[in-house]
Structure 1
Amino acid sequence: MPHTRNRIKIGRSFGDASESYDVCARLQRFTGKHMLPWLPEKKDLIVLDLGCGTGFFSELLATRYDQVLGADISFKMLDYAKKNRTGNINWTQADAFKLPYQTASIDVVYSNLMIQWCEPIDKALAEIMRVIKPGGIFVVSTLIDGTLHELKSSWAQVDDDKHVIDFHSEKELNAIFNSGSAKKINHFRKDIVLEYENVLHLATELKGLGANQVPKKLSKGLAGKDKWKKMSKNYQDFQEPSGIYPATYSVYSAVMIKLTS
């Protein structure tokens, strides 16, 4: 069960980052807020924040809806959320591939930068659609091919190992999110460039987000000092005149409705 083992590792990695996550979550704040206009204004709905992490957006959703559920694969993230968030939120440890909710029981599923960790995505989508009521919606943001291309290119000149996860393309996600009982009614993609003081700053933020798990990586543990130096030198090709190191995140956001038949 390689996919299951990978999800367990990813859950642990994010759990270890629970205390540092909010400080590092610049991208998550941006993408999460830009999804909000797609949410319905009706208050008496059951809304699930899937991959809720520290509960930042669960708390915000609880100010807008009567019933909010926060689900995450990491116990540590949920423990942090319970201790630091207010509002009437029902927290649950859950795997996106086997959600502990009844079929057709949820009006809205909101998922911010989580589903890229779910492989295969179509299986996770089928489970998400199972729990959504007919006519309900799934609002999601994820990362696609092109993300961290600077880092990927810099490592590619050092060795043939995987240092950045393989993300789906926009075309692939359009097909996945418009299949089965899901009908995609809107989507957009946007490249967001974040600035870093140096390559170590970027690596530290990725670790602080728990996003340093690469399932297809061959060598275990950190890269050797010599390889790291070579990669950092290669990254200088992307350095801006101001001395800032950019990192690109290609963000894909979509809203789907569950077909009634």
Structure 2
Amino acid sequence: MQQAVDKQAVAVAFGRAAPGYNQHAELQRLCGERLMALARHGRGMQVLDAGCGTGWFSQRWQQNGHRVTALDLSEEMLRQAELSAVASDYRLGDIEALPFADASFDRCWSNLAVQWCSDLHQGLSELHRVTRPGGQVLFSTLEAGSLHEMASAWKTLGAGVPLNPQLTAGEVAQAGTGMNMQLHRLTLTLAYPDALSAIRSLKGTGVTHLHRGRESTFLNRERRQQLEQAWSRDERGYLLSWKLILGVIERE
């Protein structure tokens, strides 16, 4: 369940992507909508958006009448969120060491962010710690086996696949040991006009090679053509399939 994560590299990469992030965040929105459907209703709640990015779902919670605290590793992401006035409070911080007292929130929300944890159990434990009894933790993450189209195509280049290792469903379940947690699994497949567009879409999703301190492998024209020839596609375009895990923890 543990992996070496360069948190500074993560923050820098997301900061660089922040101005145009919403243009490439289709997966995050689709995944978040499915996660939102698992949330119990409540009124006037204190909500933590942990790994808020530009605050797309912070705004959703706020529009529903809740007081939202937006937290992210990246100062630039928080700046984008604050410019859009999506929350009541903005905090720079790490999910594995949340800067909040115990039982501070009614809902802790983390959409496609916990894959940046070095130790998922620690991250989930922190979200559980700051949630009030009777509250919920709602999170989503990527499952091992995601993006098999890219992985298969990249192997034709004879280079290492520029994807971070992901946890299996069993490992995610183990990370929630001792918590009242339910997991839901689904696959979303998106299509892109070319392989380069597909690769660019990955920058904000937490699957590029940032765990090893670099974002991608250099692609010249010849290598890109080779990659596109090997990439799985249909009438919609070049495909990327995401295996997703949605988690709900009931705070007892």
Deviation of 1:134 (Å): 2.5
Alignment match, 1:258 = 251
Alignment match, 2:41 = 41
Alignment match, 1:59 = 59
Query: Retained in 2: the 8 A contact 1:10–1:213?
Result: no
The one-letter code matched in structure 2 to 1:251 is L
**Distance (Å, rounded) in 2 between the aligned partners of 1:206 and 1:68:** 27
Deviation of 1:35 (Å): 1.6
Deviation of 1:91 (Å): 0.9
Map of 1:1-261 to 2, 5 A cutoff?
A: 3=4, 6-86=6-86, 88-177=87-176, 179-180=177-178, 182-184=179-181, 186-207=182-203, 209=204, 211=206, 213-215=208-210, 217=212, 222-225=217-220, 226-235=222-231, 238-240=232-234, 242=235, 244-259=237-252
Q: Deviations over 1:180-204 (max 9, x none)?
A: 3x211x3321111101111011112
**Distance (Å, rounded) in 2 between the aligned partners of 1:224 and 1:82:** 36
Deviation of 1:216 (Å): 5.3
**Distance (Å, rounded) in 2 between the aligned partners of 1:221 and 1:170:** 26
Structure 1: stretches of 5+ with no match in the other structure: none
Query: Retained in 1: the 8 A contact 2:208–2:215?
Result: no
The one-letter code matched in structure 1 to 2:248 is V
Where 1:223 maps in the other structure, the secondary structure is coil
Deviation of 1:227 (Å): 4.0
**Distance (Å, rounded) in 2 between the aligned partners of 1:218 and 1:74:** 16
Question: TM-score, length-normalised on structure 1?
Answer: 0.87
Where 2:165 maps in the other structure, the secondary structure is coil
The one-letter code matched in structure 1 to 2:217 is L
Question: TM-score, length-normalised on structure 2?
Answer: 0.90
Query: What is the number of residues matched between the two proteins?
Result: 249
**Distance (Å, rounded) in 2 between the aligned partners of 1:218 and 1:211:** 13
The one-letter code matched in structure 2 to 1:97 is E
**Distance (Å, rounded) in 1 between the aligned partners of 2:213 and 2:42:** 48
Q: Spell out structure 1 runs of 4+ moving beyond 6 A.
A: none
**Distance (Å, rounded) in 1 between the aligned partners of 2:215 and 2:48:** 35
Query: CA RMSD, aligned part only?
Result: 2.2
Cα distance change on mapping 1:8 and 1:121 into 2, 3 Å: same
**Distance (Å, rounded) in 1 between the aligned partners of 2:66 and 2:236:** 48
The one-letter code matched in structure 2 to 1:222 is T
Q: Deviations over 1:34-62 (max 9, x none)?
A: 12232232213211011110011101101
Deviation of 1:206 (Å): 1.9
